[in-house]
Amino acid sequence: MLKIGLTGGIGSGKTTAARVFEMLGAPIYFADARAKELMHTDELLRKKIQETFGDQIYKAQQLDRKALAKIVFNDEKALEKVNGLVHPVVRKDFHNWAQQQDAPYVIEESAILFETGLYIDFDYLVSVISPMEERIARLQERDNTTVEKIEARMKAQVNDEIRKEKSDYILKNGKDDLLLPQIIALDKVFKEKV
Ligand SMILES: CC(C)(COP(=O)(O)OP(=O)(O)OC[C@H]1O[C@@H](n2cnc3c(N)ncnc32)[C@H](O)[C@@H]1O)[C@@H](O)C(=O)NCCC(=O)NCCS
Ligand SMILES: Nc1ncnc2c1ncn2[C@@H]1O[C@H](COP(=O)(O)OP(=O)(O)OP(=O)(O)O)[C@@H](O)[C@H]1O
């Protein structure tokens, strides 16, 4: 079974692309979403996050995501710490999940593969690329957030030039591009490789 890493900068449309692969039958591991879950359900991880960022980072048993985002996207060292706690747990969880799948290929959708060296875990890497202005406009609409907050996250991610260099395949997701035919073609490529 092939393991595919599907990534893209914030707001590029990687979750949207992953949903299309899912419609074609590919099992998808949504790493951001699963990380959120594990930060609640994995007792040891939770304890380590509390030890590192203080007990108040969980309020009424819920992670204060806004507070944590404010810390980690404004302080590189803090981001490294949270990544160092969360990512090993997600890696293990992904491999357990992948073993249970029965399909020609599985996909991990994750915002950060190149930033953390995770890309070595995959047979092929796919990046979703969209124009910066469109990403910002989509995020402002989706999250009702500020350009400043979006840019703080972008700074924690590699730029599209590096993504293009390191990826095996690119999915273009600008307003004049059609994702569906690109994904149907890529699904065929992966199935032929098995
Ligand atoms: C800081 C947190 C609480 C903010 O939560 P929030 O609900 O606002 O964002 P969410 O998790 O949905 O992520 C939204 C987007 O932010 C960006 N982002 C999230 N984590 C990171 C990171 N570690 N590095 C760079 N960008 C990131 C991505 O583009 C992602 O798609 C959360 O992102 C977090 O815990 N991040 C660290 C753990 C992690 O790396 N998770 C994701 C990959 S496994
Ligand atoms: N081609 C497109 N045209 C218009 N809107 C789009 C397009 N692709 C994605 N969107 C919208 O843009 C927003 C961001 O897309 P999506 O959530 O898939 O991105 P993402 O890369 O997973 O973002 P994040 O890094 O925040 O998780 C969503 O509201 C989505 O519906």
Q: Is residue 63 part of a domain?
A: no
Q: What is the CATH number of the domain that holds 93?
A: 3.40.50.300
Is the CB of residue 135 below 6 angstroms from any atom belonging to ligand 2?
Answer: no
> What spacing in Å lies between the alpha carbon of 11 and ligand 2's midpoint?
5
Contact by Cβ (8 Å): 163, 7: yes
Give the model confidence (pLDDT) of 31-85 as tens digits. 999 999 999 999 999 999 999 999 999 998 899 999 999 999 999 999 999 999 9
Q: How many domains does the chain have?
A: 1
> What spacing in Å lies between the alpha carbon of 107 and ligand 1's midpoint?
18
Q: Is residue 56 part of a domain?
A: no
Which ligand 2 atom sits closest to the C-alpha of 16? 18
More confident residue, 118 or 153: 153
Q: Is residue 60 part of a domain?
A: no
Which ligand 1 atom sits closest to the C-alpha of 87? 44
Can you give the pLDDT at residue 120?
A: 83
User: Which two structure tokens, joined as six digits, stand for 162?
Assistant: 């590096």
C-alpha distances in angstroms, 33 versus 36, 48, 109, 177, 190?
5, 19, 10, 26, 25
> What spacing in Å lies between the alpha carbon of 32 and ligand 1's midpoint?
6
- What pTM, to 2 d.p., does this model score? 0.96
CB contact set of 16 (below 8 Å; sequence gap of 6+): 173, 179
Q: Is residue 46 part of a domain?
A: no
The SS3 call for residue 114 is coil
Q: Is residue 44 part of a domain?
A: no
Q: Is residue 186 part of a domain?
A: yes
Minimal-distance CA residue to ligand 1 atom 3: 65
Give the model confidence (pLDDT) of 103-140 as tens digits. 999 999 999 998 887 778 899 999 999 999 999 999 99
Q: Is residue 54 part of a domain?
A: no
- Residue numbers of the domain that contains 100: 2-37+75-193
* Mean pLDDT for all residues in the chain: 95
